[in-house]
Amino acid sequence: MTPVSLRERPAYAALAAHYETIKDIHLRELFAGDPQRAERFTFDVVGLNADLSKNRITSETLTLLVSLAEQSGLRDHIEAMFRGDRINVSENRSVLHVALRAPRSESIVVDGVDVVVGVHEILDRMAVFADHVRSGDWTGHTGKRIRNVVNIGIGGSDLGPVMAYEALRHYSQRDLTMRFVSNVDSTDFVEATRDLDPAETLFIISSKTFTTLETMTNARSARMWALAALGDEAAVAKHFVAVSTNAEKVAEFGIDTANMFGFWDWVGGRYSMDSAIGLSTMIAIGPTAFSELLAGFHAMDTHFRTTPLEQNLPALHGLLCFWYTNFFNAQTVAVLPYEQYLKRFPAYLQQLTMESNGKHVRLDGTHVDYDTGAIFWGEPGTNGQHSFYQLIHQGTRLVPADLIGFGQALNPLGEHHDILMSNVFAQAQALAFGKTAEEIAAEGVPPAVVPHKVMEGNRPTNVILSEKLTPYNLGTLVALYEHSVFTQGSLWGIDSFDQWGVELGKVLATAIIPELTSQTEPLLDHDSSTNALIRTYRRLKKG
């Protein structure tokens, strides 16, 4: 049976009519007419406090959005994911990142196998290995203690580990240096290893197939770098471990397969930071803190699965993203963490959101006739306030924003944290209510300048607060966005778990490499622009 198109669902028509009645209403008016608005639109969920009141919505808006979610089958889709149904239709795979953080006591059976058992087998092995490295029991080829850990991966095998390490650096073992290499640009590897001693360095090669071009190029360079100093091929087994499922390739590289940590086809790269891909995270913060991270993920998973949609924070977050994308024509969402440790969080969310929902066809392969995934971007506050906030406040584009803050600083210093957090509340207030021409004129501003200082306001924000940045709260925060992405994809009827758009460029690049390295002039058969660029590169390469 062909699913009902988004625009043909009754709630969509009702939302479209409702939008016409609300689109020009200012947040000033919504707050003035509803003294309980902040209380009604604030949600306390597993350690997160989310104030959604500064959105351009009413109670009717949320009722209609929830109705659309129900008509789109969101509740059934959630259950299908948690059951292990093959909801990644283009690859015929289950989508079970929720199993990665399921407690031992739970059971998720897929094709007759309880996957939770396998998850905890890997977690247990990771914990033993991490403890060996952290304690100094694991030594390098020369007997020296490992003091440097370099994760080599790309995409989800890098963005998640980097973000998690930076976010949880406060909890890390400070006598271990953690580095991350992803870019095939040689500068990334050279700068990451420039000041490291090969005898004290452990590399984690993160590639499911152990064939990823960028990762394996960097891995081979790491191997040569290590052996240039250590000499003996046997050193590879003491200085390299793998996160992979390709035992044959891992062994060929020289890694002991006893030190290979696997994961499964039902783990997408952008959802893998709590799988074996998180080995570098576990080494940095320890198995106990890593377990707390998983517990935070699981708490939000449970909330998402069991809570009615009208009180379900990830669902509501996703519905608001949908509301602005499909009715207000917002093209982007800004994520603005007021926590320096979360400096890599927006970059992590870029892959999570845009690789998931940057799709142009529905599950049945038909082309969508509406916008899908927004562009996610951001920087930590208050840096962004002196950079791009100008456009959010006074530009012509509507940019919904998430402001993320914490009640306690991890590094208290005088009044720093109060000053930081005052900006969270001030920016949300200014974006919502702005400043009128009358208010500005009353301050004695010259009439010619008044228009330049007007802040129209009516810019929507979510303010998400938590007590402090802990492994548990990071888990809840990441899972919030994971399930928000799921909610949006469910409404749009797309496959949020494949990424075919990543593949074409890689295939073309593989064909072009020999044309760049050929000692003789290659016969080029691309379009005229690509041919010209290749010839120009070959000329520049010669100097």
Of 224, 253, 286, the domain-final residue: 286
Residues of the chain with pLDDT under 70: 1-3
* Rounded percentage of the chain residues whose pLDDT exceeds 70: 99
> Is 225 among the domain residues?
yes
The residues, ordered by sequence, that sit 6+ positions from 8 with a Cβ below 8 Å of its Cβ are none
- One domain, residues 391 and 279: no
- One domain, residues 121 and 63: no
Supply 85's token pair: 């149904």
- One domain, residues 218 and 356: no
- Tally the domains of the chain: 3
> Is 86 among the domain residues?
no
> Is 295 among the domain residues?
no
> Is 292 among the domain residues?
no
pLDDT of residue 3: 67
- The DSSP letter of residue 183 is -
CATH of the domain at 535: 1.10.1390
Residue of 109, 91, 31, 18 lying closest to 61 (CA atoms): 18
- One domain, residues 47 and 118: no
CA angle in degrees (0–180, nearest 5) for 140-145-149: 75
pLDDT of residue 217: 97
- One domain, residues 388 and 240: no
Active site members: 355, 386, 506
Name the pTM for this structure: 0.96
- One domain, residues 426 and 363: yes
Q: List the beta bridge partners of residue 152.
A: 181, 205
- One domain, residues 380 and 433: yes
> Is 311 among the domain residues?
yes
What is the span of the domain harbouring residue 138?
Answer: 97-286
Q: Are 174 and 286 in contact (CB under 8 A)?
A: no
Amino acid identity for residue 448 in this structure: A
CATH of the domain at 428: 3.40.50.10490
Taking the C-alpha atoms of residue 144 and residue 139, their distance in angstroms, rounded to an integer, is: 5
pLDDT in tens, 95-135: 999 999 999 999 999 999 999 999 999 999 999 999 999 99
| DSSP string of 255-289, one letter each residue | --GGGEE---TTS-GGG-TTSGGGHHHHHHH-HHH
pLDDT in tens, 241-263: 999 999 999 999 999 999 999 99
- One domain, residues 405 and 506: no
> Is 291 among the domain residues?
no
